[in-house]
């Protein structure tokens, strides 16, 4: 994944990535990011399907006996919301991940969350006072219209519709809460309903139908898959996503359509300047 992300940036159209600060290959990721200063890097806040940064996560029940977070997002979110002890543990964990990111010395370009956990109302409450302290400049609002994707791929209509509605509601709440702190957002996201299948035909379709304004496309490129990746992301085709992001035909289409590739840091400066 680390190598693929750098390739997608240096040889393709990718402008930003997000770092999981407790992931197994984090040291390599930090080294590659330092060697690639034109790549924006943000924090990928992780509270499911990963390992904690806080020292007491297992004792509080935030982590399981094996030392990792729970792997199913919705049951975990319900437990975090309704268990006071866990709410405090989540608060410490969010701070610990932000502090660990700051310790890398990398500029923080944005914040998003694994499985969009950062949009959970409780996480919004936790993040609000930390925006200024950690200078969180931008945030992903996961809001993608369902209808355009269904015109491309009619599968999973019920799931896509439900996810789209819930995440749009949560994103609306987050925008109202964080805009006052100067946090910037893209007007829409793309790729949510095509996760794991953002291949070259899909990217060409997106570029041909891209509306005016600022859009964030997010993908999951990798050179190949490990067994753990196949277990957690069944059906994903990360090598196809890498091929799409580095495709000369996609680059040509970007230029022909007049699409400007921007980084989060550039977007924030433009918004501050009133551009």
Cα within 13 Å of Cα(142), Cβ side: 24
pLDDT score for 33 = 98
Give the residue ranges of DSSP H helices in the chain. Answer: 2-10, 26-34, 57-60, 73-82, 84-103, 121-127, 130-133, 146-152, 157-178, 200-208, 227-232, 238-245, 248-256, 264-273
At a CB cut-off of 8 Å and minimum separation 6, what does 238 contact? 1, 4, 196, 220, 221, 222, 223, 224, 225, 229
Contact 129, 258 (CB under 8 A): no
Number of domain units in the chain:
1
pLDDT score for 275 = 53
Q: pLDDT tens digits, the chain, 275 residues: what are they?
A: 999 999 999 999 999 999 999 999 999 999 999 999 999 999 999 999 999 999 999 999 999 999 999 988 888 888 887 888 899 999 999 999 999 999 999 999 999 999 999 999 999 999 999 999 999 999 999 999 999 999 999 999 999 999 999 999 999 999 999 999 999 999 999 999 999 999 999 999 999 999 999 999 999 999 999 999 999 999 999 999 999 999 999 999 999 999 999 999 999 999 888 75
CATH number at residue 223: 3.20.20.370
CA distance 58 to 193: 33
Q: Which domain holds residue 166?
A: 2-273
pLDDT score for 107 = 97
Contact 164, 193 (CB under 8 A): yes
Place of tokens 């693929």: 4
Contact 220, 194 (CB under 8 A): no
At a CB cut-off of 8 Å and minimum separation 6, what does 158 contact? none
Give every strand in the sheet of 40-45, ordered side by side: 16-19, 40-45, 111-113
Backbone angles phi, psi at 217, to 5 degrees: -100, 125
CA distance 21 to 254: 32
CA distance 139 to 264: 9
pLDDT score for 157 = 95
């Amino acid at each position: 994944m680390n190598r693929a992300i750098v390739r997608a940036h240096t040889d393709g159209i990718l402008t930003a990535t997000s770092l999981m600060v407790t992931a197994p290959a984090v040291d390599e990721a930090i080294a590659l990011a330092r060697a690639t200063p034109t790549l924006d890097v943000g924090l990928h806040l992780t509270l499911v399907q990963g390992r904690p940064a806080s020292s007491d996560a297992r004792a509080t029940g935030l982590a399981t006996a094996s030392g990792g977070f729970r792997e199913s997002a919705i049951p975990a979110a319900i437990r975090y919301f309704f268990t006071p002890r866990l709410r405090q543990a989540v608060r410490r964990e969010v701070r610990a991940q932000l502090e660990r990111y700051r310790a890398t010395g990398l500029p923080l370009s944005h914040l998003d969350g694994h499985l969009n956990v950062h949009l959970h109302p409780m996480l919004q409450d936790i993040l609000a006072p930390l925006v200024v302290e950690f200078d969180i400049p931008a945030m992903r609002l996961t809001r993608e219209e369902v209808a355009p994707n269904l015109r491309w791929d009619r599968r999973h209509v019920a799931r896509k519709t439900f996810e789209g509605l819930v995440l749009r509601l949560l994103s609306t709440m987050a925008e109202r809460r964080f805009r006052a702190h100067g946090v910037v957002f893209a007007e829409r996201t793309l790729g949510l309903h095509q996760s794991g299948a953002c291949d070259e035909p899909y990217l060409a379709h997106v570029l041909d139908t891209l509306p005016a304004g600022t859009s964030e496309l997010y993908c999951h490129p990798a050179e190949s898959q490990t067994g753990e990746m196949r277990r957690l992301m069944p059906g994903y085709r990360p090598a196809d996503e890498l091929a799409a992001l580095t495709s000369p035909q996609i680059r040509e289409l970007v230029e022909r359509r007049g699409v400007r590739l921007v980084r989060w840091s550039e977007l924030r400066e433009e918004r501050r300047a009133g551009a």
